[in-house]
Amino acid sequence: MNAPLKDVRPASRAWQPSFEADAYQSFLAGIKRHWGTELYREVVAGAEASQARDPASLEQAMRGNAAYRLYAWLERRVQQLKWSGRWGFSTLVEQQRDQLAPLLEAATRSDRLALDPDLTMPAYITETETHQQPGGLWRDPVNAYALAWYTTGLSFAGSNPDDLVDFYAARIRERCTEIGLQARAILDEGCTAGRSTRAIKRAFPEAQLYGCDICEGSLRLGALRNLEEACDITLVQCSAESLSFPDASFDVVASQWLWHELPPAAIRQSIIEARRVLRPGGLFVAYDMMSAVGGPIGEWLLSGYAARNNEPYGHALLHFDWQGALEQAGFTDIRSRYGLPQDPGPGLPATLPPRRLHPMIFVSAVRPGAPF
Ligand SMILES: C[S@@+](CC[C@H](N)C(=O)[O-])C[C@H]1O[C@@H](n2cnc3c(N)ncnc32)[C@H](O)[C@@H]1O
């Protein structure tokens, strides 16, 4: 007989590293801190001193700059080392496959998880090892553990990952209050293992919460985490471009860090789908890196980061006409503001911050019509 689901919950908890693995990952975290502070500032100073005034000319001018060469090399290699090598997260997960795979299997028995075994992965998922994760997130369910450990081990931004999603949830709450929306049902798209969805649940304890993602393993892990944290959230495997929910199901459809992973055509289709599943008067939200901070130098560094971290659509997002796409889909009251916990905004800073930060933009729009 299967073990009751509650018995597998504690084992879904985060990484319990050996001394060696902890030392290895801490060493990489130390390099990352140097990369995002002193080295980053040296690169910015070099770029400011150059005569270049657009991203392509900056790349050309800075190619021979020693600080930039090291910065770019570390940006790519430290990420790789976090996954791979003797104490990389993917290696550690592989060593524990026999324990981890059955836990994820058990998660399928949760009545708060709906998987779709017939879902076809789009090429933009299968053609890229996003974030340089070996095998990507979609190929093997246990890869969900590697991503979860990688995120809690030390996020790329070098901060507690819950701070960012709590900031996201607080902004959703703020917008709902501003437009007088009572959010009874909320969908969080691209929810991975539900970190952002749980943050929304903390901000809206009375609402019915749904998370959707295209990758099965993360949803399974999310279902275990939701049980563990006693969070009443339903997780559904479907893509944002083709949501498996009826028309007018939600008061809020939101996503955090989804858009930069999607090609522009997929974003456009996901906006149309969001409008379909929103009730009249409902709120649409996307929280992601839609603009660079600090003009051409900021754009050059952000595009370089996206390329070096295997996020091939990150650059396209900087030039994506989301305002036009939202208008075309019939949204109104379209707003945007900058902000993240370390630099809350709302105005887009004119200059680059003293340490490397992800420039996050909170876009929101309303589906017209009287709420029912
Ligand atoms: C950077 S993560 C989002 C982080 C997440 N919000 C959290 O709190 O951990 C992006 C997620 O989007 C998912 N994704 C990518 N394309 C998608 C699509 N078309 N529809 C739904 N989810 C998608 C990926 O599988 C991944 O889990």
- d(CA 141, CA 150) in angstroms, rounded, equals 15
- d(CA 185, CA 310) in angstroms, rounded, equals 34
CATH number where 218 lies: 3.40.50.150
In a domain, 43, yes or no: no
pLDDT confidence tier of residue 2, bands split at 50, 70 and 90: low
pLDDT at 335 over 60: yes
Least confident of 67-81, 151-165, 319-333: 151-165
- Report the 3 state secondary structure along the chain: CCCCHHHHCHHHCCCCCCHHHHHHHHHHHHHHHHHHHHHHHHHHHHHHHCCCCCHHHHHHHHCCCHHHHHHHHHHHHHHHHHHCCCCCHHHHHHHCHHHHHHHHHHHCCCCCEECCCCCCCCHHHHCCCHHHCCCCCCCCCCHHHHHHHHHHHCCCCCCCHHHHHHHHHHHHHHHHHHHCCCCCEEEEECCCCCHHHHHHHHHCCCCEEEEEECCHHHHHHHHHHHHHCCCCEEEEECECCECCCCCCCEEEEEEECCHHHCCHHHHHHHHHHHHHHEEEEEEEEEEECCCCCCHHHHHHHHHHHHHHCCCCCHHHHHCCCHHHHHHHCCCEEEEEEECECCECCCCCCCCCCCCCCCCCEEEEEECCCCCC
pLDDT at 154 over 70: no
- The stretch 105-128 carries a mean pLDDT of 94
Separation of CA 209 and ligand 1 centre (Å): 16
pLDDT confidence tier of residue 372, bands split at 50, 70 and 90: low
> Which ligand 1 atom sits nearest the alpha carbon of residue 218?
27
Mutate to test the pocket of ligand 1, among 133, 192, 218, 221 (most ligand atoms within 8 A of CB): 192
In a domain, 104, yes or no: no
Mean pLDDT of the chain: 92
In a domain, 228, yes or no: yes
In a domain, 138, yes or no: no
Mutate to test the pocket of ligand 1, among 261, 268, 277, 313 (most ligand atoms within 8 A of CB): 261
- d(CA 50, CA 44) in angstroms, rounded, equals 10
Separation of CA 141 and ligand 1 centre (Å): 14
Least confident of 203-212, 222-231, 248-257: 222-231
Separation of CA 346 and ligand 1 centre (Å): 25
- The stretch 165-188 carries a mean pLDDT of 98
The larger pLDDT score, comparing residue 14 to residue 220, is at: 220
pLDDT at 111 over 60: yes
pLDDT at 9 over 70: no
pLDDT at 68 over 90: yes
Closest CA to ligand 1's atom 3: 257
Give percent of the chain above pLDDT 70: 94
- The stretch 126-148 carries a mean pLDDT of 93
Separation of CA 53 and ligand 1 centre (Å): 34
Structurally, the chain folds into a number of domains equal to 1
pLDDT confidence tier of residue 117, bands split at 50, 70 and 90: very high
Ligand 1, CB cutoff 6 Å, lining residues: 125, 137, 165, 189-192, 195-196, 212-215, 218, 239-241, 256-258, 261-262, 266
Closest CA to ligand 1's atom 27: 192
Give percent of the chain above pLDDT 90: 82
For residue range 338-368, what is the model confidence (pLDDT) as tens digits?
999 999 999 999 999 999 999 999 999 999 9
Contact 199, 162 (CB under 8 A): yes
The residue segments making up the domain with residue 342 are: 161-366
pLDDT at 155 over 60: no
pLDDT at 11: 53
- Give the chain's radius of gyration (CA, Å): 21
Closest CA to ligand 1's atom 20: 239
In a domain, 297, yes or no: yes
pLDDT at 134 over 70: yes
In a domain, 193, yes or no: yes
Is the omega angle on the peptide bond into residue 264 within 30 degrees of 0, that is, cis? no
pLDDT at 270 over 90: yes
Least Cα distance to 364 among 185, 178, 111 occurs for 178
Separation of CA 220 and ligand 1 centre (Å): 14
pLDDT at 37 over 80: yes
In a domain, 342, yes or no: yes
Burial class (CB in 10 A: 0-12, 13-18, 19+), 206: exposed
pLDDT at 329 over 50: yes
Mutate to test the pocket of ligand 1, among 165, 237, 258 (most ligand atoms within 8 A of CB): 258
pLDDT at 22: 84
Q: How many CB atoms lie within 10 A of CB 145?
A: 26
pLDDT at 84 over 70: yes
In a domain, 59, yes or no: no
- d(CA 32, CA 272) in angstroms, rounded, equals 39
pLDDT at 12: 56
Separation of CA 138 and ligand 1 centre (Å): 11
Single-letter amino acid, residue 41: R
pLDDT at 150 over 50: yes
Question: C-alpha distances in angstroms, 22 versus 15, 18, 74, 94, 144?
Answer: 10, 6, 20, 17, 19
Separation of CA 339 and ligand 1 centre (Å): 20
User: Whole-structure pTM over 0.85, yes or no?
Assistant: yes
For residue range 294-315, what is the model confidence (pLDDT) as tens digits?
999 999 999 999 999 999 999 9
CB environment 323-337: b (16+ within 10 A), e (fewer): eebbeebebeebebb
Burial class (CB in 10 A: 0-12, 13-18, 19+), 295: middle
Least confident of 157-166, 180-189, 199-208, 328-337: 157-166
